[in-house]
Amino acid sequence: MSIRHTTDLPSLPASSSTDEIVSELNRAGGVILRNFLTAEQVDNFNKDIDDELERLAPGSKYDDEFIAAFHGNNTKRLTGLPMLSATFRNDILDHDVIHNVSEAIYREDAGDYWLTTGQVIDIGPGNPAQLLHRDLENGPIWVKLGPAGPMVMINFIIALCDFTEEIGATRVIPGSQDWPDYEDRGSDDMTIPVIMNAGDCFLFSCKVVHGGGANTTTDKRRRALTVPVQPAYLLVEEPYHLTVDLDVVKTMAPRAQKMLGFRSLFPKGSPGLMQVNYEELGDYLRLDA
């Protein structure tokens, strides 16, 4: 029998110190960061992706029942964002809070980190709540290890519209990162909605139970941008090397280039990944030329 969530969801200004943010993340499993993006950044990003999102059909491209339900029958998931959005490339992939928190979480245990995927999740009217899960379920071993396992992902879900319960705000069970058995995913009645204004961000651990909420409106879509970050020693979801043009990469900040795997990565204890003839990938690619 699961315990109910033991804490409310903390909320801090995004300008809070990294220590404060990480301490709330660890305590509750997730924390709202208010004013993570400015209204102008939200507006710019939305404009960057509006047309492509409009063209994208809702629903999963897979027949597998579990995968299709996870993706959502009236949900659009737009990726390939580095080629679509200068706001994503420059403002989000080089965001100080994303890097400061990732450094604090990963530097000591994992060394480097990179981007899992950058994904717009646009939940349409009538879409039911997503299956409750922990993001570490990308790897079955992490479920077995439970709370003692390493942090293998942190996720920044940025609200691109106001998040209300009705529109399908993300749902979470604060405290579930500490449950002893990760086969226990709780139940919908244990969750609370992550209510946010556009531009706020929900930062949460791969160990906390959560899922997209049901959109019970008849005419509104819930638009979010998810920016999960993971240790550099683990395979990512999106193959950016195949989809992002080098000319575009060259215009980006070094931290943003590394997020996409265009600079060498140095997991703790490793002499390096993503190299050519043991040359730093950024040098090989002449990113600074």
Q: Of 215 and 257, which CB lies nearer to ligand AKG in the complex structure?
A: 215
What one-character DSSP code corresponds to residue 133?
A: B
C-alpha torsion sign, points 269, 237, 224, 64: negative
Q: Which does 212 bind (CB under 5 to 8 A by kind): Fe ion, ligand AKG, none?
A: ligand AKG
Which residues between 183 and 222 bind Fe ion (CB under 5 A)? none
Q: Of 112 and 135, which CB lies nearer to Fe ion in the complex structure?
A: 135
Residue 6 has phi, psi (to 5 degrees) of: -100, -5
Q: Which does 191 bind (CB under 5 to 8 A by kind): ligand AKG, Fe ion, none?
A: none
Task: Report yes or no: 44 and 87 within 8 Å, Cβ to Cβ.
Answer: yes
Q: How far is the CB of 148 from ligand AKG (least distance, A)?
A: 22
Q: Which does 261 bind (CB under 5 to 8 A by kind): ligand AKG, Fe ion, none?
A: none
Q: Of 123 and 259, which CB lies nearer to ligand AKG in the complex structure?
A: 123
For 187-215, the DSSP string reads -GGG-EE--B-TT-EEEEETTSEEEPPP-
**Calpha distance 163→165 (Å, rounded):** 7
Q: How far is the CB of 54 from ligand AKG (least distance, A)?
A: 19
Residue bearing tokens 């060394």: 111
Task: Tell me, rounded to whole angstroms, the distance of Cα 236 from its chain centroid.
Answer: 12
Residue bearing tokens 């399908």: 168
Binding piece for Fe ion, criterion CB under 5 A, among 24-32, 57-65, 130-138, 201-209: 130-138
Q: Of 157 and 201, which CB lies nearer to ligand AKG in the complex structure?
A: 157
Contact status: 112 vs Fe ion (CB under 5 A): no
Contact status: 132 vs Fe ion (CB under 5 A): no
Q: How far is the CB of 210 from Fe ion (least distance, A)?
A: 6
Contact status: 135 vs Fe ion (CB under 5 A): yes
Q: How far is the CB of 68 from Fe ion (least distance, A)?
A: 16
Q: Of 118 and 282, which CB lies nearer to Fe ion in the complex structure?
A: 118
**Calpha distance 91→158 (Å, rounded):** 13
Q: Which does 224 bind (CB under 5 to 8 A by kind): Fe ion, ligand AKG, none?
A: ligand AKG
Tokens of 19: 């220590």
Task: Report yes or no: 48 and 88 within 8 Å, Cβ to Cβ.
Answer: yes
**Calpha distance 88→82 (Å, rounded):** 6
The continuous run of DSSP H or E covering 281 comes out as helix 281-284
The continuous run of DSSP H or E covering 173 comes out as strand 171-173
**Calpha distance 158→15 (Å, rounded):** 15
Q: How far is the CB of 66 from ligand AKG (least distance, A)?
A: 13
Binding site for ligand AKG (CB under 6 A): 121, 130, 135, 157, 170, 210-212, 224
Q: How far is the CB of 74 from ligand AKG (least distance, A)?
A: 12
Q: Which residue number has the CB closest to Fe ion?
A: 135
Point out which residues bind Fe ion (CB under 5 A). Answer: 135
